[in-house]
């Protein structure tokens, strides 16, 4: 059993994917070919935003978003401490200062009370200018954007949505990737909408921001590629990856429904033995991961491994505990996040997970407890 069965997905989509790849190889348009613009348009339509600008990976997408918003050295950017390193890394890459905040123990997403306290503490200290919030749609569940938007409006902050894991998630039928002033995603193979390499995208609500992003992703391009009007990056989605993503996007809604069905089976069978994911009313998860909270995690993982069931821990170390951020000032406590690092365990999740494998996972966990 694979933790995420990408091979099964390819077998299901082999004919249309191979045809797309063959077309790119035949035309030879490997960089910013037709498929890139086509995919950007289709994904923008799916998410429900004005523009989608693709790039080389999800980390670049976040950095491009910060660059487009003019984030610089004297700015503070608030980010949850319970997330993947890239969410915080990009803040330092543009010269700004990450300010970590705690997360909610039930949704795993940024805690609005902790965020408010951190903003007020930075204001009171007076050394940094609070400028933006990066909210992460962890494990597929959108963050509490109604609350976050109010806080950002109150303090005149940009809201950036990191929906790398969020694709397919919704709040009251509004899709992940559409909540931030600017939003980003990743097409890393393990993501709900993943390619066969690296890829990413930035979503914007206006054409001027999209044009700025297109310049930034191509060395600060002006009227042509030899007219450089600003400092940018070399960050483009390969045409081959865009071609693959076009076919994956075509079945993405069906795959998300299948993830939902699997998640419901897990929850129905496991809720009496482990702490299963909490989905607030009106919210839908993209189920990038199905993550439970468990006791005796190391022993459980060993038992699962012996039973032929893979599992993963996202994440064992908070951002404020990382060596790279050892010198970063902390303004709030992180009691929920620090506790979660010792409890969370992600189970196999894929639209192509068979019923037999689902029951194998369920039986292995139940037999342990």
- pLDDT, mean over the chain: 97
Per-domain residue ranges of the chain: 6-250, 252-368
CA 315 to centroid of chain Cα atoms:
14
Instruction: Report pLDDT for 20.
Output: 98
DSSP for 89-127 reads HHHHHTT-EEEEE-B-TTT-SBPHHHHHHHHHHHHHH-S
The class (CATH top level) of 6-250 is alpha beta
Q: Tokens 């597929």 appear where?
A: 140
Q: Convert the pLDDT of each residue in 220-267 to its tens digit.
A: 999 988 999 999 999 999 999 999 999 999 999 999 999 999 999 999
Q: Which of 14, 19, 174, 191 is catalytic?
A: 191
How far is 301 from 304, CA to CA, in rounded Å? Answer: 5
Q: How far apart are CA 97 and CA 115, in angstroms?
A: 15
Structure tokens, 126: 């007076």
Output the pLDDT for position 334.
Answer: 98
Task: Round to whole Å and give the CA distance between 183 and 52.
Answer: 9
Kindly indicate the confidence band of residue 186, based on its pLDDT and cuts at 50, 70 and 90: very high
Percent of the chain at pLDDT exceeding 90: 99
* Residue 329 CB neighbour total at 10 angstroms: 16
- Alpha carbon of 164 to those of 13, 39, 79, 209, 210: distances in Å? 23, 17, 14, 20, 19
Please write the tens of the pLDDT for every residue from 125-158.
999 999 999 999 999 999 999 999 999 999 999 9
Asked whether the beta carbons of 157 and 181 are under 8 A apart, the reply is no
Strands 51-55 and 75-80: unpaired
Predicted local distance difference test score (pLDDT) of residue 51: 97
Taking each helix axis as running N to C, give the angle between helix 58-68 and helix 207-216, from 0 to 180 degrees, rounded to the nearest 10: 120
Catalytic residue at 191? yes
Give me the phi and psi of 189, to 5 degrees please: -50, -30
304 with 270: CB under 8 angstroms? no
Helices marked H in the chain: 6-27, 34-47, 58-68, 85-93, 112-125, 145-155, 207-216, 239-250, 252-270, 297-306, 335-340, 355-368
Give residue 282's pLDDT.
98
Based on the number of CB atoms within 10 Å of its own CB, is 14 exposed (0-12), middle (13-18) or buried (19 or more)?
Answer: exposed
* Distance, CA of 16 to CA of 22 (rounded, Å): 10
| Inter-residue contact 140 to 190 (CB < 8 Å) | no
The CATH number of the structural domain formed by 252-368 is: 3.90.1150.10
Q: What confidence tens digit (pLDDT) does each residue in 78-134 have?
A: 999 999 999 999 999 999 999 999 999 999 999 999 999 999 999 999 999 999 999
Residues 326-332, mean pLDDT to the nearest whole number: 96
Q: What is the largest CA-CA distance in the chain?
A: 65
Contact 285, 140 (CB under 8 A): yes
Which phi and psi angles does 290 have, rounded to 5°?
A: -105, 105
| DSSP state, residue 277 | P
SS3 238: strand
**pLDDT on residue 225:** 85
| DSSP states along 190-207 | TSSS--SS--EEEEESSH
Mean pLDDT of 212-219: 98
Query: Is residue 353 scored above 90 in pLDDT?
Result: yes
């Amino acid at each position: 059993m694979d933790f995420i069965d990408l091979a099964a997905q390819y077998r299901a989509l082999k004919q249309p994917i191979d045809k797309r790849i063959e077309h790119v190889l035949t035309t030879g348009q490997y960089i910013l070919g037709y498929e890139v613009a086509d995919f950007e348009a289709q994904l923008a339509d799916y998410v429900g935003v004005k523009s989608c600008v693709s790039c080389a990976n999800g980390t670049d997408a976040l950095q491009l978003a910060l660059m487009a918003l003019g984030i610089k050295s004297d700015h503070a950017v608030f980010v949850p401490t319970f997330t993947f390193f890239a969410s915080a890394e990009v803040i330092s890459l543009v010269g700004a200062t990450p300010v970590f905040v705690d997360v909610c123990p039930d949704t795993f997403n940024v805690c609005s009370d902790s965020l408010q306290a951190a903003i007020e503490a930075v204001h009171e200290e007076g050394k940094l200018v609070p400028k933006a919030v990066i909210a992460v749609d962890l494990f597929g569940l959108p963050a509490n954007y109604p609350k976050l938007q109010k806080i950002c409006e109150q303090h005149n902050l940009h809201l950036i949505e990191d929906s790398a894991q969020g694709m397919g998630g919704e709040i009251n039928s509004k899709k992940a990737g559409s909540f931030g002033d600017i939003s980003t995603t990743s097409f890393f193979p393990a993501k709900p909408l993943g390619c066969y390499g690296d890829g990413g995208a930035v979503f914007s609500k206006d054409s001027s921001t999209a044009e700025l992003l297109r310049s930034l992703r191509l060395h600060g391009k002006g009227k042509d590629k030899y007219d450089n009007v600003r400092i940018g990056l070399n960050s483009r989605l390969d045409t081959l990856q865009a071609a693959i993503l076009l076919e994956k996007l075509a079945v993405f809604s069906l795959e998300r429904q299948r993830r939902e069905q699997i998640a419901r089976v897990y929850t129905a069978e496991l809720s009496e033995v482990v702490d299963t994911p909490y989905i607030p009313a009106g919210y839908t998860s993209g189920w990038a991961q199905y993550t439970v909270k468990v006791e005796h995690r190391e022993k459980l993982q060993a038992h699962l491994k012996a039973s032929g069931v893979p599992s993963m821990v996202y994440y064992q170390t908070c951002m404020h505990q990382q060596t790279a951020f050892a010198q970063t000032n902390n303004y709030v406590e992180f009691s929920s996040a620090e506790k979660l690092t010792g409890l969370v365990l992600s189970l196999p999740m894929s639209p192509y997970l068979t019923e037999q494998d689902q029951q194998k996972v369920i039986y292995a966990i139940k037999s342990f407890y």
